């Protein structure tokens, strides 16, 4: 079965005074990506659990929480309990990531592990057997609208190979600088789920932008498949 690309608009690029409108504006999106930043793990501060709860109440789209925070061991489970579909923590911040994955799952969410652009993939293969998603950062976390770092696609290829070989069962997600110009190379490398902030909310019609990005990814995946079987 060919993989179907998933698009996760990041509300970081939406109008924070109108978050309910922002969730309505991306009907048809697969996940809604919500960036939680604490001003410590990253040099930016966004929203926390009370606002995430309000977002959850405003949409039926599964919410994908990306926690760019220190001490996720203390805070992550609250997002799972609140009803997030996937809760991603950073490997650079988690003290006991195995227990954390277990606790997030026990609270009813999928557990995600994120690696920053300069964090290698190989040391965490065993750890990822406890997780449902791998979020590969393709910009330094903290801000939307940055330029895509193509070097991280090596990590995507390695993760894809492990998943295809049945050694890992994670969904491969990418975050940062994804737009009409970069999504194809990410799709060819093996990404399943594409986070896009400025490319969606900067568009005149965000829902249409979601559909267009998905089509580009789908075409690139199909071409990559055909090249492999030639």
State the burial class of residue 51 (Cβ atoms within 10 Å of its Cβ: 0-12, 13-18, 19+).
middle
Q: Is 28 annotated as a binding residue?
A: no
Residue nearest to ligand DX5 (CB): 197
Q: What is the CA radius of gyration of the chain?
A: 16
> Which residue in the list 38, 70, 175, 192 is annotated as catalytic?
175
Cβ 195 to Zn ion, closest distance in Å?
6
Q: Is 197 annotated as a binding residue?
A: yes
Q: What mask, x for binding ligand DX5 by CB under 6 A, covers residues 127 to 156?
A: ------------x-xxxxxx----------
User: How far is 170 from 192, CA to CA, in rounded Å?
Assistant: 10
Task: Kindly provide the b/e burial profile for residues 19-37, where b requires at least 16 CB atoms within 10 angstroms of the residue's own CB.
Answer: beebbebbeebbbbbbbbb
Cβ 12 to Zn ion, closest distance in Å?
7
Which residue in the set 5, 10, 59, 112 belongs to the binding site for ligand DX5 (CB under 6 A)? Answer: 10
| Positive or negative torsion for Cα 218, 224, 140, 124 | positive
- Give yes or no: 38 in active site: no
The neighbouring-strand residues paired with 38 are: 45
Cβ 37 to ligand DX5, closest distance in Å?
7
Q: Which does 109 bind (CB under 5 to 8 A by kind): ligand DX5, Zn ion, none?
A: none
User: How far is 46 from 62, CA to CA, in rounded Å?
Assistant: 20
Q: Is 48 annotated as a binding residue?
A: no
- Give yes or no: 175 in active site: yes
For ligand DX5, which is the closer residue by CB, 162 or 210? Answer: 210
Cβ 218 to Zn ion, closest distance in Å?
22
Distances (CA, A) of 173 to 8, 14, 50, 125: 9, 20, 25, 15
Tell me if 77 sits within 8 A of 107, measured CB to CB: yes
Regarding 190 and contact with ligand DX5 (CB under 6 A), the answer is no
Write out the residues near ligand DX5 by the rule CB under 6 A.
10, 12-13, 33, 35, 66, 139, 141-146, 175-178, 195-199
- The residues annotated with a catalytic role in the active site are 35, 175
For the annotated binding site for substrate, the residues are 10, 66, 142-145, 175-177, 197-198
């Amino acid at each position: 079965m060919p993989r179907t690309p998933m698009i996760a608009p990041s509300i970081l690029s939406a109008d924070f005074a109108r978050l309910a409108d922002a969730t309505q504006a991306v009907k048809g999106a697969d996940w809604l990506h919500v960036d939680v930043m604490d001003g410590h793990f990253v040099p930016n501060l966004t929203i926390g659990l009370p606002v995430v709860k309000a977002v959850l109440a405003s949409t039926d789209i599964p919410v994908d929480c990306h926690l760019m925070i220190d001490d996720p061991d203390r805070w992550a489970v609250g997002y799972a309990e609140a009803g997030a579909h996937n809760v991603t923590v950073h490997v650079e911040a988690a003290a006991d990531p195995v227990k954390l994955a277990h606790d997030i799952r026990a609270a009813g969410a999928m557990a995600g592990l994120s690696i920053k652009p300069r964090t290698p993939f190989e040391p965490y293969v065993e750890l990822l057997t406890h997780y449902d998603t791998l979020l590969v950062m393709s910009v330094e976390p903290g801000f939307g609208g940055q330029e895509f770092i193509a070097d991280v696609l090596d990590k995507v290829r390695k993760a894809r190979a492990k998943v295809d070989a049945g050694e890992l069962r994670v969904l491969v997600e990418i975050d940062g600088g994804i737009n009409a110009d970069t999504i194809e190379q990410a799709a060819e490398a093996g990404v399943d789920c594409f986070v896009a902030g400025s490319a969606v909310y900067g568009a005149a019609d965000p829902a249409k932008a979601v559909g267009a990005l998905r089509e580009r990814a789908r075409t690139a995946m199909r071409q990559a498949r055909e090249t492999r079987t030639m």
